[in-house]
Copies of this chain bind each other. A is one copy, B any other.
Amino acid sequence: MTRPDPAYPANDDPTCIVVDWGTTSFRAALVTQDGRTLDRTETPEGIQNIPDRSYEPVLMRALGKWFVAHGPLPVLALGMITSKTGWVEVPYVTCPASPADLAGGTISLELSNGAPLIFLAGLTDPARKPYADVMRGEETQIMGFGLDRDTVVILPGTHSKWARLRGGAIDSFQTFVTGEIFALLTQHSFIARSAGPASGKTDWGAFQRGLDLTSAADGTADAFLSLLFSARTGMLFGHLSAGEVRDYVSGLVIGHEFREARSQDWFTAGDSVGMVGNDGLNMRYTKAAQTFGLSVIDGGENAAVLGAIALIGGLSRGKLGPA
């Protein structure tokens, strides 16, 4: 499903347009059947910046040149544009969800030029405690990773997701707000005040020190709210420099996500897990996985596009008639 059909060899004809339309930005990519991006565009026309919900003119203006060049290609839209505050609220599809379930959950409109506009559905896991969990967009990335292996897939991010694939469906998933906590700590907390300016270069040694603390068996890491204070005491007593503390904290929080995921039975040491690239976090998450005894199946960088194409394929054989 993630691989191009060999009957249609790769070429440079675009097959669809994928639009990631969020709260503060509009991003679109013109993509080929085999998942390559031929062209892209980005504007600050996020849904909160569009008066009177006049979405269609914005979309047509942004995509117009592609329609002129290639005709009324199907447009797949995901992100907050599919939420209550967006163009069309697409109800969540419920786990376990197959590609057919996800395709069946889409909502389609016809644009003024006759191009189909397909809003993708998010996913909900009603079994999660205390409340059902949700994702919007990651389910498309998981489809791009492929559902043909029974495995766990990690999607690092501001709100990381761990998903279990089973029998060709997304069986269940869980969210961890790791990236958000890291950002809060390093932008607004006592750690922000003592850290040096971000150098843009990762101190992998400091990162690994944080990771190792979270994987230790002595129980210290069971107290996350306490472990975070070690960023201060480490600096106070000269064990951590201002230049190290940011990556040390990154190791603490990402490592804690793995520790918690293990406690929730997402893995045991020796397992292999899939990882779908996001936000430049792959290397950190791969090191964390290794620290916890996992091997990693790399899901590549363009899983979202591949997932969107797979959805288009499913839709082409269904609702939209043959391609």
In contact, A229 and B176 (Cβ under 8 angstroms): yes
Interface residue? A204 (CB, 8 A): no
A187, A253, A263 — which one has the most chain B CB atoms within 10 A of its CB?
A263
CA distance A225 to B237 in the complex (A): 28
Nearest CB in chain B to that of A213: its residue: B130
In contact, B174 and A226 (Cβ under 8 angstroms): yes
A8 CB contacts on chain B under 8 angstroms: none
CA distance A261 to B222 in the complex (A): 9
A184 CB contacts on chain B under 8 angstroms: 181, 184-185, 188-189
CA distance A226 to B190 in the complex (A): 23
Task: Identify which of residues 147-188 in chain A touch chain B, using a CB-to-CB cut-off of 8 Å.
Answer: 159, 174-178, 180-181, 184-185, 187-188
Interface residue? A239 (CB, 8 A): yes
Interface residue? A228 (CB, 8 A): yes
Give the number of times this chain occurs in the complex, counting copies.
2
A189 CB contacts on chain B under 8 angstroms: 177, 180, 184
A230 CB contacts on chain B under 8 angstroms: 130-131
A253 CB contacts on chain B under 8 angstroms: 225
Interface residue? A269 (CB, 8 A): no
Task: Identify which of residues 182-237 in chain A touch chain B, using a CB-to-CB cut-off of 8 Å.
Answer: 184-185, 187-190, 213, 218-220, 222-226, 228-230, 232-234, 236-237
What are 26 A-B pairs with beta-carbon distances under 8 A? Answer: A129-B220, A130-B230, A130-B239, A131-B234, A131-B236, A131-B237, A131-B239, A132-B237, A134-B232, A134-B233, A159-B229, A175-B229, A176-B226, A176-B229, A177-B190, A177-B229, A178-B225, A180-B189, A181-B184, A184-B188, A184-B189, A219-B263, A223-B260, A223-B263, A225-B253, A225-B257
Closest 8 CB pairs of A and B: A223-B260, A222-B263, A184-B184, A131-B233, A176-B225, A175-B229, A129-B220, A131-B234
